[in-house]
Chain A
Amino acid sequence: MNAALFATVCLIAACGLIYELVAGALASYVLGDSVTQFSTVIGTYLFAMGIGSWLSRFIVRGVVTRFVMIELVVGIVGGFSALLLFLTFTWTSAFRPVLYGVVTLIGILVGLEIPLLMRILRDRFSFKDVVANVLTFDYVGALGASLLFPLFLVPRLGLVRSALAFGLVNVLVAFWSTHLFRDELPNRRWWQGASLLSALVLAIGLWKGQAITTLAEEGLYADPVILARDTRYQRIVLTSWKDDLRLYLNGHLQFASRDEYRYHEALVHPGLAALPRAQRVLVLGGGDGLAVREILKHPGVQEVTLVDLDEGMTSLFATHERLTPLNDGALRDPRVRVINADAFVWLDQHEGRFDFIVIDFPDPSNYHVGKLYTSAFYRLVRQHLADDGFLAVQATSPLFARQSYWSIVATLQGAGLRTFPYHVYVPSFGEWGFVIAGTVPYQPPHTLPDGLRYLTVEGVPALFDFPADMQPVPAEPNRLNDQVLVRYYEREWAAINR
């Protein structure tokens, strides 16, 4: 009996400390400045415990009942505290009030625990033994928790599930107390039921922890998330709202099904339709297969090679029932060969020339992707281009990232290519830029394939006209040893993003 009582002290002390650590660590993760976060969380928490201790004087009767009730409430509130805080951060802008509110609430409840427990034990032991033992086990529990937290809980369970696990401990203490103090607890059956129910809720939380956190992720996207997948290289998220599907890679919008036809028709046809004899086409990037869908509208094309780094991406767009209708099953067309390889390395290691090459990489937002926008890369691409062929490059926005766009143009020129810049309006992206490049002069096409929704023969030449606010600005070419483009891009988009 005694051992059980003091084990209870030990456990509730550990739970109390864990909630405090969870709140401190979580606030540090999302807000940074860990010294401030830990200091204010600990201060608030200790002060709230003081309030709890003070409030304990007002509990006169039914001390055991109150104790069991407090254990249940602490278990639920503390257990779900990490999840609640994550959701608050992603969905609302009231993170700090909720943080300190939750910390205060848990602190008050934990502050009530020990005084109540001491009063329960008062009649069983001498006063000096109660104080000595309770405080001893309180501190022992705190030590255990503070060691367990960084060494085991966070690396193994993560913050959300650590909190849930200790919520479960609190609830089990409540259940155990209904047995320990059964003589002083009216409505014992009722409290046992409540304990089991709470335990069930927390256990479900533990079990479904991951699903719940992806719920939090939805807060990052405008529309409901219908698919989220981590591949080796990136996180793919697909959202859906009515008939509009949106694809995000690492949080960046890649396309919206409502208007992607504008982007992909503009990327492919002005260049490819100007090459009526084109048979072999290479696509670098573009694992969604949407550019390939446009390419296959040209009956003369016999062979399309798609080189995309991410097998997870291409297999998703070759098989997923919501995605294959978007690219008309292009990735399973017999004319299409899908290769999962690094484009730079693949071009290095393979021979062969193509009549038309589509380059559709993510924007040059870091030095790694930036390598795929360098003169060294375009020189290599040029070696794979038929003498009278063209390449078409997605080249970010000439309106939002004007110097970046013209830097890409300058880079292509630096690789010895003639350039033919153009742009198109895509509602979900804004004004978007492309460049056709080759070693021969370019003439807009006289015909276009059937089945286009945006481009017209008359409209194509107009794409090459740049209004005053998108016209060329001085820009350096991007080189492997000096990636000016990444710096331009970072500066220009930083000026736009809020």
Chain B
Amino acid sequence: MGDASRRAFLRQLLAALAVASPAGAVGLGGTGASGAPALHGLTRKGRAITGGFADTDQAVGHALRDGRIPAIGAVATRRARVAIVGGGVSGLSAGWHLDALGLRDWLLLELAPEAGGNARGGRNAVSAYPWGAHYLPLPAPDAVHVRALLREVGVLHADGRFDERTLCHAPQERIFQHGTWHEGLEPLDAAPAWELAEWERFDAQVAAWRESGAFRVPLAGAPFGGSAARETHALDAITADVWLRANGYRSPTLRWWLEYGTRDDYGASLTQVSAWAAAHYFAGRPADEGGPLTWPEGNAFLVRHLTRRAGDRLMHSAPTVRLERVGTRWRVHTPRAVVECDAVIWAAPLFVLPRVLPGVALPVTTEYAPWVVANLTLDRRPRERGAPPAWDNVLYGSASLGYVSATHQSVAQPRDATVWTWYHAVVDRPARDARAWLEQRPWSGWRDEILADLARAHPDVAECVTRLDVWRWGHAMARPVPGLLARTASLDEWRPAPGVLVANADVSGFSIFEEAQWQGVRAAERAARLIGGG
């Protein structure tokens, strides 16, 4: 730092120090100019932080599991050609596509008070914010359904241009390493030459994979035959960790960065994730995507559009407790209504299906990744140093995935208050143990862990947070472990029962918007064929 800017800094400092207010120390860190260990004690006293658990479906899900919801009550009967069970992205997309096929007579049954699945969002006085999925990579030209939806919501213009205000604003990402923020996500501050060489080798590998055309989004578009495909399919027999060791990758920064990616997209560590799925994460999309698309509330923006289109055909707070075959038709039982229909699209998680359709055996097992998402409301910006605040703020070496700023997409000049969404995929223990742990751990445990995690980069964060809410996702997403491709193949044509179609990202084996939408669209097409169009 030159003397000129030190002088400018000093000017703020003088103002801050002279005003003997409790916030007097705030001006110090805001400039990021000093990192004196002595500063850590200079903060005002900690304050009470309100908040709690925001997840509500768990209780309903567990009641369903334990048979505590009466299977059949004296409720109204409704009729529809198609009943869709589950109002996540795949269920909403199934309805959306049925409409496109001219088949408007459908009902969607959602367990929670609000549709959206893991793409839900919330809102408070400061900002809207996501509770789960929060961005959409720019779709390739052949991702026709994603593009159709984006045209519908006005994000993709007729001339092929994406709406500038929806594209993630600059600066998009930064990483905290060696005590300061750096632009970009790659933890390469002061990386030695041998590590950089490994990074380059990995880049070349990704380019080759991409070139092969074997990795596509959605998965269904990828060629399954051909030598390139066969070669990459071998990757699906091993974990990413095994592949990395076999190929001599030892760089700790590269390994951390790769695992950041697999935790972020798949909720899986390198020792859990299929090497094929890991490669897919890096090679499945064009290199220079210029995106992603994001909204303050994350993908809940898209969910809201689909929910609006569903209108009163969406029945919320209606957990499906039983599917009953009646002649050639089906009865879908919920505490709110019984729906009689010709076909059922099962768009809820696969593991729930055997509980409501006795006798059905799933052809595959699915490992579900537990996640924790927290929304922190801040009434002022905490201290930090280095690169300016970005949309995605990642802490190198942390078990968390860092935080996303919900106010980043605002075009207004920055205000003091903001909302941060903190993400954490629990990968450090078996999924079942992790879920048990999620159920027991009190909110205060999360509060302390989250604040300690963020305090590495923002020493006074605890004094800036007024509210901290936590959402525990026991079954956030299917985890793509080795054997993914065989698993997907065996589900591809699977029918749980005549007239019942499955549509969920669980079928693809990994939970991204494009897969969920594709499964919904495909199930809609199959349902339309089954019952003879609209």
A377 touches B411 (CB 8 A): yes
A481 touches B20 (CB 8 A): no
Known contacts: A25-B38, A376-B411. The answer to whether A159 contacts B17 by CB under 8 A is yes
Q: Does any Cβ of A come within 8 Å of B34's Cβ?
A: yes
Q: Does any Cβ of B come within 8 Å of A125's Cβ?
A: no
B14 touches A86 (CB 8 A): yes
B24 touches A497 (CB 8 A): no
Cβ contacts A83-96/B at 8 Å (1 or 0 each): 00010011001000
Known contacts: A34-B37, A345-B411, A481-B167. The answer to whether A217 contacts B22 by CB under 8 A is no
Q: Does any Cβ of B come within 8 Å of A325's Cβ?
A: no
Using CB atoms, name the residue of chain B closest to A486: B170
Cβ contacts A124-155/B at 8 Å (1 or 0 each): 00000000000000000000000000110011
B164 touches A480 (CB 8 A): yes
Give A213 to B11 CA distance when docked, in angstroms. Answer: 9
| Nearest chain B CB to A433 CB, angstrom units | 23
Using CB atoms, name the residue of chain A closest to B168: A481
Residues of chain B contacted by A93 (CB below 8 angstroms): 3
Query: B15 contacts which of A24, A89, A230 (Cβ < 8 Å)?
Result: A230
Cβ contacts A454-497/B at 8 Å (1 or 0 each): 00000000000000000000000001111100100000000001
A481 touches B43 (CB 8 A): no
Cβ contacts A177-221/B at 8 Å (1 or 0 each): 000000000000000000000000000000001100110110010
| Nearest chain A CB to B258 CB, angstrom units | 25
A29 touches B16 (CB 8 A): no
Cβ contacts A56-75/B at 8 Å (1 or 0 each): 00000000000000000000
B43 touches A155 (CB 8 A): yes
The total of chain A residues at the interface (CB under 8 A) is: 61
Give A366 to B28 CA distance when docked, in angstroms. Answer: 19
Q: Does any Cβ of B come within 8 Å of A277's Cβ?
A: no
Residues of chain B contacted by A479 (CB below 8 angstroms): 164, 167, 170
A216 touches B14 (CB 8 A): yes
Residues of chain A contacted by B43 (CB below 8 angstroms): 155
A481 touches B290 (CB 8 A): yes
A158 touches B16 (CB 8 A): yes
Q: Does any Cβ of B come within 8 Å of A333's Cβ?
A: no
Residues of chain A contacted by B22 (CB below 8 angstroms): 155-156
Give A492 to B257 CA distance when docked, in angstroms. Answer: 33
Residues of chain A contacted by B412 (CB below 8 angstroms): 342, 344-345
Query: B169 contacts which of A35, A157, A481 (Cβ < 8 Å)?
Result: A481
Give A345 to B6 CA distance when docked, in angstroms. Answer: 34
B18 touches A29 (CB 8 A): no
Cβ contacts B154-182/A at 8 Å (1 or 0 each): 00000000001101111110000000000
Known contacts: A158-B20, A251-B8, A481-B170. The answer to whether A371 contacts B15 by CB under 8 A is no
Q: Does any Cβ of A come within 8 Å of B365's Cβ?
A: no
Using CB atoms, name the residue of chain B closest to A154: B42
Q: Does any Cβ of B come within 8 Å of A12's Cβ?
A: no
Give A160 to B11 CA distance when docked, in angstroms. Answer: 13
| Nearest chain B CB to A363 CB, angstrom units | 15
Q: Does any Cβ of B come within 8 Å of A353's Cβ?
A: no
Give A482 to B167 CA distance when docked, in angstroms. Answer: 9
- How many contacts A-B (CB < 8 Å)? 154
Residues of chain A contacted by B291 (CB below 8 angstroms): 481
B37 touches A90 (CB 8 A): no
B414 touches A344 (CB 8 A): no
Residues of chain B contacted by A345 (CB below 8 angstroms): 411-412
| Nearest chain A CB to B218 CB, angstrom units | 24
Which of the listed residues B12, B13, B172 has the most CB atoms from chain A within 10 Å of its own CB? Answer: B13
A251 touches B413 (CB 8 A): no
Known contacts: A154-B25, A213-B15, A375-B164. The answer to whether A368 contacts B414 by CB under 8 A is yes
A217 touches B167 (CB 8 A): no
Give A25 to B36 CA distance when docked, in angstroms. Answer: 8
A220 touches B8 (CB 8 A): yes
Give A269 to B200 CA distance when docked, in angstroms. Answer: 55
Using CB atoms, name the residue of chain A closest to B391: A481
Query: B170 contacts which of A34, A209, A251, A367 (Cβ < 8 Å)?
Result: A367
Q: Does any Cβ of A come within 8 Å of B10's Cβ?
A: yes
A342 touches B413 (CB 8 A): yes
A157 touches B20 (CB 8 A): yes
| Nearest chain A CB to B26 CB, angstrom units | 9
A368 touches B413 (CB 8 A): yes
Q: Does any Cβ of A come within 8 Å of B397's Cβ?
A: no
Q: Does any Cβ of A come within 8 Å of B201's Cβ?
A: no
Cβ contacts B26-41/A at 8 Å (1 or 0 each): 0010000111111011
Give A57 to B517 CA distance when docked, in angstroms. Answer: 88
Query: B164 contacts which of A25, A309, A374 (Cβ < 8 Å)?
Result: A374
Q: Does any Cβ of A come within 8 Å of B7's Cβ?
A: yes
Q: Does any Cβ of B come within 8 Å of A264's Cβ?
A: no
Known contacts: A158-B24, A161-B20, A220-B7. The answer to whether A29 contacts B36 by CB under 8 A is yes
Residues of chain A contacted by B3 (CB below 8 angstroms): 93
Q: Does any Cβ of A come within 8 Å of B113's Cβ?
A: no
A348 touches B411 (CB 8 A): yes
B170 touches A38 (CB 8 A): no
Within 8 A of A (CB), among B29-61: 33-38, 40-44
Residues of chain A contacted by B170 (CB below 8 angstroms): 367, 370, 479-483, 486
Q: Does any Cβ of B come within 8 Å of A300's Cβ?
A: no
Of all A-B residue pairs in the complex, the 5 with the closest CB atoms, nearest first, are: A150-B41, A158-B17, A34-B36, A481-B167, A376-B164
Q: Return 25 A-B CB contacts under 8 Å, by A number.
A: A29-B13, A29-B34, A34-B34, A34-B35, A86-B10, A150-B40, A154-B24, A155-B44, A157-B24, A158-B24, A159-B17, A160-B18, A161-B18, A213-B14, A214-B14, A220-B11, A233-B413, A235-B15, A344-B413, A367-B171, A376-B411, A377-B411, A480-B165, A481-B170, A483-B169
A→B interface (CB under 8 Å): 21, 24-25, 28-32, 34-35, 37-38, 86, 89-90, 93, 150-151, 154-161, 209-210, 213-214, 216-217, 220, 230, 233, 235, 251, 309, 342, 344-345, 348, 366-371, 374-377, 379, 479-483, 486, 497-498
